[in-house]
Chain A
Amino acid sequence: MSVEAAIPEGYVKVFSKPKALSDAKYTYCPGCHHGIITRLVAEAIDELGILERTVGISPVGCAVFLDRFFNCDFVQAAHGRACAVATGIKRARPDLVVFTYQGDGDLAAIGAAETVHAANRGENITVIFVNNGVYGMTGGEMAPTTLPGQRTTTTPLGREPRLHGYPLKISEMLAQLEGPAYITRQAVFDYRHIVRAKQAILKAFRNQLEGKGFSLVEILSTCPTNWRMTPVEAGRWVAEHVVKVYPLGDLKDVG
């Protein structure tokens, strides 16, 4: 690379793109936290050295093109059915490492049933749940996870809980079940939280390698495009408002 030639002697590379990611450019909007989360998953795959035996399940939503970004195998599941597809692959080939990467429209809305039952069965899979509170890809409609009062294209006056329901707290729901091994909620709005989220993702993958069972990492994300904010404002909004409705931390950990 011509870029590397310009680096003077005596310097060592301290950060570069993980090997699990391909050279394809992301299709996410500028400043979307999806990109950080995708990279953290790739870094976890690199660190555990499992690239050759990892199969990802991509959802319907903004992350639908994940197969282009990753160098591992991928299956694109029907809307919401990622956990069901992951169940089938993991049961047929227990030697593979299977993870799903889903948004809130996919996992919490149309795929709520598949997710709850996969968790209840304690399937030995890893689930990455990206929660940004809107249907990002289709134009910013209200999702089950939208905050009370939050404006979306289908709730232009703000979400009214008595009319539109309350935010669906998937992680709290699943933590009540006996099946799951690890349920946690993280965020990636600053460096400190990115480091914690990375540790949580690593733990979720290690749980699968050790056969502990269903692990879900919910990560609060931004959607600057549909929230009508700059990426920096959107990050601050997560830090100030979203974490009050969705508190961060481990909700279930069987160790």
Chain B
Amino acid sequence: MPKGIVVVDKERCKGCGLCIEACPFGVLGFSSEYNSSGYRVVYMEHPDKCTGCAICANVCPDVALEVYRQEPTKEAA
């Protein structure tokens, strides 16, 4: 189970690639999918590497990303 999940709003994404550049772990990449505006949207290319740091969502100019992080388990705490 990955620590984080990035959910892409495909209709908001404009495929600028700033999130791909900003991700410290190389999680995101361009998918082969296009949205209705003709932009190539991003997706989680390596979901297992995601830590849920939300840097991608912070640099996204179109507020297209939502980030979820795994809650720490009781054993870990």
User: A3-B7, A36-B59 are contacts. A11–B69 as well, Cβ < 8 Å?
Assistant: yes
- A17 interface residue per 8 A CB criterion: yes
**Is the pair A194, B68 in contact by a Cβ cutoff of 8 Å?**
no
Interface size class of A (residues with CB under 8 A): 35 or more
Instruction: Name the contact of B61 in the complex, choosing from A15, A28, A190, A232 (C-beta under 8 A).
Output: A28
Q: Which B residues have a C-beta under 8 Å from some C-beta of A?
A: 1, 4-5, 7, 9, 11-12, 14-18, 21-22, 39, 52, 54-55, 57-63, 65-71, 73
CB distance from A194 to the nearest CB of B (A): 6
**Is the pair A11, B68 in contact by a Cβ cutoff of 8 Å?**
yes
**Is the pair B66, A25 in contact by a Cβ cutoff of 8 Å?**
no
CB distance from B11 to the nearest CB of A (A): 7
Q: Which A residues have a C-beta under 8 Å from some C-beta of B?
A: 3-4, 6-8, 10-18, 21, 25-26, 28-36, 39, 190-191, 194-195, 224, 230-232, 235
* Interface contacts beyond A3-B7, A15-B57: sample of 5 additional A-B pairs, CB < 8 Å, sorted by A: A3-B9, A10-B71, A25-B12, A39-B63, A235-B21
CB distance from A66 to the nearest CB of B (A): 14
CB-nearest residue of chain A to B67: A15
Q: How far is the CA of A224 from the CA of B22 in the complex (A)?
A: 17
**Is the pair B5, A231 in contact by a Cβ cutoff of 8 Å?**
no
**Is the pair A11, B63 in contact by a Cβ cutoff of 8 Å?**
no
Instruction: Name the contact of B15 in the complex, choosing from A16, A28, A30, A39 (C-beta under 8 A).
Output: A30
Residues of B within 8 A of A13 (CB): 66-68
Residues of A within 8 A of B61 (CB): 26, 28, 30-36, 39, 231
A-B contact pairs, 19 of them (CB 8 A): A7-B5, A13-B66, A14-B69, A16-B67, A17-B63, A25-B11, A26-B61, A30-B14, A31-B61, A33-B61, A35-B60, A35-B61, A35-B63, A36-B58, A190-B22, A194-B58, A231-B16, A235-B18, A235-B21
Q: How far is the CA of A194 from the CA of B17 in the complex (A)?
A: 17
CB distance from B31 to the nearest CB of A (A): 15
**Is the pair A7, B59 in contact by a Cβ cutoff of 8 Å?**
no
CB-nearest residue of chain B to A224: B16
CB distance from B61 to the nearest CB of A (A): 3
Residues of A within 8 A of B65 (CB): 15
CB distance from A245 to the nearest CB of B (A): 23
**Is the pair A31, B16 in contact by a Cβ cutoff of 8 Å?**
yes
Residues of B within 8 A of A235 (CB): 18, 21
**Is the pair B18, A191 in contact by a Cβ cutoff of 8 Å?**
no
User: A7-B7, A14-B69, A16-B66 are contacts. A191–B58 as well, Cβ < 8 Å?
Assistant: yes
Q: How far is the CA of A34 from the CA of B61 in the complex (A)?
A: 7
**Is the pair B5, A11 in contact by a Cβ cutoff of 8 Å?**
yes
CB distance from A36 to the nearest CB of B (A): 5
Residues of A within 8 A of B57 (CB): 15
CB-nearest residue of chain A to B16: A31
CB distance from A35 to the nearest CB of B (A): 3
User: A11-B5, A230-B17, A231-B18 are contacts. A35–B70 as well, Cβ < 8 Å?
Assistant: no
**Which 5 pairs between the two chains have the least Cβ-Cβ distance?**
A35-B61, A31-B16, A30-B14, A11-B68, A15-B67
